[in-house]
Amino acid sequence: MSKIKITETCLRDGHQSLIATRLKTCEILPILSEMDKVGYHSMEVWGGATFDACIRYLNEDPWERLREIRKIVKNTKLQMLFRGQNILGYRHYADDVVEKFIEKSVENGIDIIRIFDALNDVRNLKTSIDATKKHGAHLQVAMSYSISPVHTHEYYVNLSKEIEEMGADSICIKDMSGILLPYEGYELVKEIKKNISIPLELHTHSTCGIGEMLYLKAVESGVDIIDTAISTFGGGTSQPSTESIVKTFEKTKYSTDLDFDRLKKIADYFKPIREKYLNEGILNSKSYFINPQIIETQLPGGMISNMINQMKAQGAEDKFDEVLKEIPRVREDLGYPPLVTPLSQMVGTQAVMNILSGEKYKMISKEIKDYVKGLYGKPPSSINKDLKRKILNGEEEVLCRPADLLENEFEKFKKESLEFAKSDEDILSYILFPQIAKTFLEKKYNQNDNQVININLEFD
């Protein structure tokens, strides 16, 4: 057994899970040189909800964030989370857009791309797998972990073998809800490791209070890499604390050899930043509550903080527990999809609609209708027949790879965005989030023009 490797997640999943992805670039850059010297295997800094949040809430260009991070980080691999055919958005995109996005991600500084599909439908991974290999990044394919009658150890062993055959450089067990039990994890890791020859990484959350125990057993079972978050943005709905895990394995054969003094400096740096978000109400105390009920609801950490904020905004925060109970019922009706983006948002939103309307499926979101039609891929199990009949209403179900129905779209969007997009990266932002990206880019370049004018006036 070699020393355990650590992926630091505070700059992506850590703040996504605890403060709804609100860390600003200016809050990230000052500490990067210190983080770069710790000895991490990699730092997850991009992808997931960071792209959307930068444009939607922070008035920042996510591509610029990545470039600025890359300028500082010279020794550590930069990692991103990529949703397969969904890229970083919430629908399936054409193959040419998927490949272009991966090309530009690598070009702007990404070393490792962790790719997953919400349904573990490998058909939805093929284009992004091929593009990642083509453009020279490390290809890590993640299996969305779920508990259901169909998500057995045999299911994940067979999936991991298929993923390795597709060309993956490493595999990740993505326990996005923190529901993988420690001894269950021990056996699962052992069985997968027997059947693959590439490194295995484990990702979890501390939501249910079992993440640290899971990591202990998984490391003993032979996992190669684990995801942790610096303590200031660790714990709760985030990942187990980096410092705690480092201390756990210190002076053992699994020792991480990370620089603990630097870890303390990093944690101290983020303390006033966390305090600011706590005072602003963005960091909700519920995000730190241990909630073993999540083992049943399987709601991922990054979704909880967002759902709390959304229900609070609707004046329905008191119905949060009812929604949590409704989620597994909706999930069963939909054929047990793993609750990871975008399925977690879709199932969560449908559960909210069921509770607030007082009647199941009185209102059905467009996304759920598309899912039932097969536009997101193949469900792990059969969808409730009555619900399927109601939604399809005589229409044919889609049985092919959903992206096969899509024509190339990059050039079309390029023509649409000529007036406000000045690069391929701008066009990609527009494709993923047309309305908010258009407004953002128009404002961005107007601001830049104004800044140039102001600078000239000052020199005059």
Closest residue by Cα to residue 163 from 203, 204, 195, 131: 195
| pTM, 2 dp | 0.91
* For residue 223, pLDDT beyond 70: yes
In this predicted model, which residue has the larger pLDDT, 291 or 415?
415
Query: Is the domain defined by 290-404 classed in CATH 1.10.472.90?
Result: yes
Q: What is the pLDDT of residue 228?
A: 98
Band of pLDDT at residue 1, cut at 50, 70 and 90: low
Q: Residues 6 or more apart from 1 whose CB is under 8 A from it?
A: 222, 253, 254
The amino acid sitting at 219 is V
Question: Where is average pLDDT lowest: 93-102, 331-340, 430-439?
Answer: 331-340
Question: Tens digit of pLDDT for each residue in 311-361?
Answer: 888 888 889 889 888 988 999 999 999 988 788 888 988 998 999 888 899
Q: What is the pLDDT of residue 448?
A: 57
Residues of the chain with CATH 1.10.472.90: 290-404
Band of pLDDT at residue 305, cut at 50, 70 and 90: low
Q: What is the mean pLDDT of the chain?
A: 93
Own/partner contacts of 34-37, CB < 8 Å, gap of 24 or more, are 34/262, 34/265, 34/266, 34/269, 35/8, 35/73, 35/76, 35/262, 35/266, 36/72, 36/73, 36/74, 36/75, 36/76, 37/75, 37/259, 37/262
Residues of the chain with CATH 3.20.20.70: 5-279
Residue range 5-279 forms a domain whose CATH class is alpha beta
Closest residue by Cα to residue 111 from 149, 87, 82: 82
Question: Tens digit of pLDDT for each residue in 18-62?
Answer: 999 999 999 999 999 999 999 999 999 999 999 999 999 999 999
The amino acid sitting at 14 is G
The token duo for 164 is 């390795």
